[in-house]
Amino acid sequence: MGATAKLKEIKMDKSKFNFQKFWDQYGTFFILAIIVAIFGSLSSEYFLKANNITQILVQSSVTVLIGMGEFFAILVAGIDLSVGAILALSGMVTAKLMLAGLDPLMAALIGGVLVGGLLGAINGCLVNWTGLHPFIITLGTNAIFRGITLVISDANSVYGFSFGFVNFFAASPLGVPVPVIFALIIAVILWFITSHTRLGRNIYALGGNKNSAFFSGIDVKFHILIVFIISGICAGLAGVVSTARLGAAEPLAGIGFETYAIASAIIGGTSFFGGKGRIVSVVVGGLIIGTINNGLNILQVQTYYQLVVMGGLIIAAVALDRLISK
Amino acid sequence: MTSPYIKMEGIAKNFGPVQALKSVNLEIYTHEIHALLGENGAGKSTLMKILSGIYEPSAGKITIDGTEYTKLDHKIAAKLGIGIIYQELSVIDELTVLENLFIGRLPVTKTLGFQRIDWHEMRTKAAIMLLRVGLKVRLDEKVRNLSISQKQMLEIAKTLMLDARVIIMDEPTSSLTYNEVDYLFLIMNQLREDGTAIVYISHKLNEIRRICNRYTVMKDGSSVATGQITDVSNDDIVRLMVGREIQNRFRAIKESIGVESSETVFEVCNITSKDKRRVKDISFSVKRGEIMGFAGLVGSGRTEFMNCIFGVEPISAGRVKLHNEDITPSSPLDALKKGMGYITESRRENGFFDNFSIAQNIAISKSLKDGGFKGAMGLFNQDQEHALAEQQRKLLSLKCSSVEQNITELSGGNQQKVLISKWLCCEPEVIIFDEPTRGIDVGAKAEIYKVMRNLAAAGKTILMVSSELSEIMSVCDRIAIFCEGKLANILENNENISEEDIMKWALPQN
């Protein structure tokens, strides 16, 4: 091969690489824009109103929370199918604690952070001890956690707890609803972890190559444990938010939410092979899911059909992303 | 003796710029077991892959049964009855003995116009085959439940199913017990009487003497000698394998820096692996500024030993000492914090992170060393990482357009430099290099040697595993030779030492 030909090849390689990098960073935003444009044109009188956009953000906050947790599990080439059940159990514990007379803040801390983290730790320990794939472990714990929720609630909704709690999450200081602020704060913390801390760097390394990580000195099991604790806490906090928004803890809350969580992460460009992805894109991924949900509601699509459309759109969004990045 | 069944003449094979085979002549007759000898990397496997139609030769011709071929493919090789049994057996554990024998070519019969598997014919044929190799197992037994020796017999039976005229066996006895070896030889003798030709690749000279008729020795991609095994002594064979000339090319790098007088820094006492088989009771000590080479055959336990002293594999006994202080690491992180570094054998599998840039790859272990609990506490600083990478880039003359490039865009040699940098940043006192020049071109090799010698001159202690004797002899101060998991001997590397001296210790004695 001549020197010029080689040079050309390198150049071509470069331009292709740059586009891919560009798409990796901003592709999710484009998909969001396309979806907004579609719904906007189909139902311009309602969809693009400020009120509705606030509504979308509030509705998305739960999806964004569990999506960010899921992001960590997928980042280490794993998965967490138990986020929906953790959400329900954490919400239930929070409600029960408040009924028992605990201060709402304490109840939310124990119910959301502590219970969520603990359930995540159980996932992490089981993955480490058994050496099984997280898919199997969390498939099992999903059923276990859901079962426990049903047992402690006797399969009934739990309501009648403090209005202060409900009102707090219904407020909108400076026009921004509290659940949105809440999700945003968590997003900033997680963004900081992934992009500035050693812990985050180690998790990326582990996701990129488990063997290299081990030989380089990374404690693989410790980091896997941390990853599942993060995922658990995110789902636990989502449980607190959804309990506050509904004004009740539902034992069947969050069923099927793992689909939304995984979809948010994947639409956000997180690689199933591990080691690649950004928290910002996952937040946008969560917004995409929320937007689709909201748009279908506005177009008065029946709930059952919504599921069908939702599934199709998820596949289409990811397929489009892959198609373009090729 | 009549004309040979297989005649290979002037076979050469290039992989890009690398010449794996230069010129090989090989003749194989029916009714013989032919030993193919040579060091690691002499080209035996490449030659056998050409014979079984996996590789296409770059030059030369092959005559089989009177027909001339310039290349073979899988189908022709199968039709001519050439079967190969690899060291790593290819039987499938999850299937039954019967299914394994007929894999990929199940006989079918028609019932009411539908094709179905002819189980009846399969069972009959299989029973005959198993009888022929003397394998007494149920046809419906899962292969998982068979011993290694039984699996090997099954593999032979599988080859015979194809009406094999020539069977190539690559180190078939490496995982067999003595009794199992006897049994294998019995079957091989029987096959020879039936007229099958066997090409037998092994390092075990005494076994070769027991079973083989003729031999061919390969060295550096060429066949250097052939003849009756009874006409040569074991010493002759070793001499032929390693050749007379000692390559002095890199010797110049190794300059005496008065290692003899410096203090002993690193000590290993009685290290034994958990299974007590792959690494047995290894003890030695190394001085400051010394490079200790580790020679031995593939599978002699050198990498496993390095894994043991770096905390990768659990050990059942032994201690590792640095400055007379017990530092036996419990994990790689522990080893790293106590002043060790380990450049692993396989860059892609357990060396670098393909999702990281050059700078990130360099920074990871230092970040772990500096980070508190489990190396996970604290923040990293991108600017510092960048500066560190730039500094290492200059130090090791790393060729890249930017340290922010992804590591997969680099050549093998430069990737290796990145991995060396990764450990140098941690300022270890003892550095392990496992096959540091594998898959690297000659120019980069020389650079890596220079880096290693410079590190030694700067007072680091280096352990270097290599399967290339010339490399070990040109870079190392002393040479430890492993044989079947044990440390066979440690030799001073000086002008009088020859590759033969090393090979003598590396070859199993029984």
Q: Which residues of A touch B374 (CB under 8 A)?
A: 219, 222-223
Q: Which residues of B touch A201 (CB under 8 A)?
A: 360, 364, 367, 380
Closest residue, chain A, to B337 (C-alpha): A217
What gap in Å lies between CA A71 and CA A275, rounded to an integer?
10
Q: Which residues of B touch A219 (CB under 8 A)?
A: 331, 333, 374-376
What gap in Å lies between CA B400 and CA B402, rounded to an integer?
5
Q: B376, A226: Cβ pair inside 8 Å?
A: yes
Q: B375, A198: Cβ pair inside 8 Å?
A: yes
What gap in Å lies between CA A268 and CA A279, rounded to an integer?
8
Q: Is residue A33 part of a domain?
A: no
Closest residue, chain A, to B311 (C-alpha): A215
The yes/no answer to whether this complex scores an ipTM above 0.85 is no
* Structure tokens belonging to residue B485: 């998991």
What gap in Å lies between CA B370 and CA B378, rounded to an integer?
9
- pLDDT of B58 reads 87
Q: Is the pLDDT of residue A126 over 50?
A: yes
Q: Is B197 left (phi over 0), alpha (psi -120 to 50) or beta?
A: beta
Q: H-type helices in B302-357, by residue range?
A: 302-309, 332-337, 347-350
Q: Is residue A57 part of a domain?
A: yes
C-beta neighbour count of B392 within 10 angstroms: 22
Q: Which residues of A touch B354 (CB under 8 A)?
A: 208-209, 275
- pLDDT of A69 reads 94
Q: Is the pLDDT of residue A299 over 80?
A: yes
Q: Which of A228, B472, B301 is nearest to B462 (CA)?
A: B472
Q: A204, B356: Cβ pair inside 8 Å?
A: yes
Q: B307 to chain A nearest CA, in Å? A: 9
Q: A214 to chain B nearest CA, in Å? A: 7
Q: Which residues of A touch B332 (CB under 8 A)?
A: 214-217
Mean pLDDT of all residues belonging to chain A: 86
At A156, give phi and psi (nearest 5°).
-110, 155
* Closest residue to A214, CB basis, from B332, B352, B376: B332
Q: Is A269 left (phi over 0), alpha (psi -120 to 50) or beta?
A: left
- pLDDT of B249 reads 42
Q: Is the pLDDT of residue A6 over 50?
A: no
C-beta neighbour count of A79 within 10 angstroms: 23
Q: Is residue A46 part of a domain?
A: no
- Site from B355, B360, B365, B409 to mutate, A interface, most A CB atoms within 10 angstroms: B355
C-beta neighbour count of A17 within 10 angstroms: 13
What gap in Å lies between CA A193 and CA B22, rounded to an integer?
55
Q: Which of A308, A251, A317 is nearest to A286 (CA)?
A: A317
Q: Are B400 and B393 in contact (CB under 8 A)?
A: yes
Q: Are B102 and B122 in contact (CB under 8 A)?
A: yes
Q: Is residue A141 part of a domain?
A: yes
> 């009771």: which residue's tokens?
B281
What gap in Å lies between CA B101 and CA B159, rounded to an integer?
9
Q: Is residue A266 part of a domain?
A: yes
What gap in Å lies between CA B368 and CA B352, rounded to an integer?
15
- pLDDT of A11 reads 44
Residue B166 pairs with which residues in a beta bridge? B82, B197
- The burial of B494, by beta-carbon neighbours within 10 Å (0-12 exposed, 13-18 middle, 19 or more buried), is given as exposed
Q: How many residues comprise chain A?
A: 326
- pLDDT of B255 reads 53
Q: B351, A202: Cβ pair inside 8 Å?
A: no
Q: Is the pLDDT of residue A93 over 50?
A: yes
Q: What is the mean pLDDT of each run of 10 residues along chain B (510 residues)?
A: 82 79 89 86 83 86 85 81 81 87 77 79 86 84 84 84 85 74 86 89 83 89 88 82 52 51 84 86 89 86 90 90 89 90 87 89 87 80 87 84 84 86 90 85 78 87 86 87 88 79 79
Rounded mean pLDDT, A62-80: 94
What gap in Å lies between CA B125 and CA B129, rounded to an integer?
6
Q: Which residues of B touch A197 (CB under 8 A)?
A: 376, 378-380
- pLDDT of A138 reads 95
Domain count, chain A: 1
* Structure tokens belonging to residue B234: 């074991």
- pLDDT of A8 reads 42
- pLDDT of B259 reads 56
- Site from A198, A203, A222, A272 to mutate, B interface, most B CB atoms within 10 angstroms: A198
DSSP state of B12: E
What gap in Å lies between CA B477 and CA B291, rounded to an integer?
5
- pLDDT of A135 reads 94
Kindly report the CATH number assigned to the domain that includes residue A231: 1.10.3470
What gap in Å lies between CA B507 and CA B499, rounded to an integer?
12
Q: Are B196 and B159 in contact (CB under 8 A)?
A: no
Q: Which residues of B touch A204 (CB under 8 A)?
A: 353, 355-356
Strand (E) or helix (H) holding A186: helix A178-196
- pLDDT of B251 reads 46
DSSP state of A81: T
Q: Which of B480, B477, B435 is nearest to B456 (CA)?
A: B477
Q: B182-208 burial, b for 16+ CB within 10 Å, e for fewer?
A: ebbbebbeebbeeebbbbbbbbbbebb
Q: Is residue A250 part of a domain?
A: yes
**Domain of A213, in residue numbers:** 51-325
Residues 401-440 on B with a CB inside 8 Å of A are 422
Q: Is residue A219 part of a domain?
A: yes
| Sequence-distant (≥ 6) Cβ neighbours of residue A11 within 8 angstroms | none
Helices A279-298/A257-267 angle, 10° precision? 120
Task: Give me the domains of chain B, ranges plus CATH numbers.
Answer: 6-242 (3.40.50.300), 245-339+429-435+456-510 (3.40.50.300), 345-427 (no CATH)
Q: Is residue A158 part of a domain?
A: yes
Q: Is the pLDDT of residue A9 over 50?
A: no
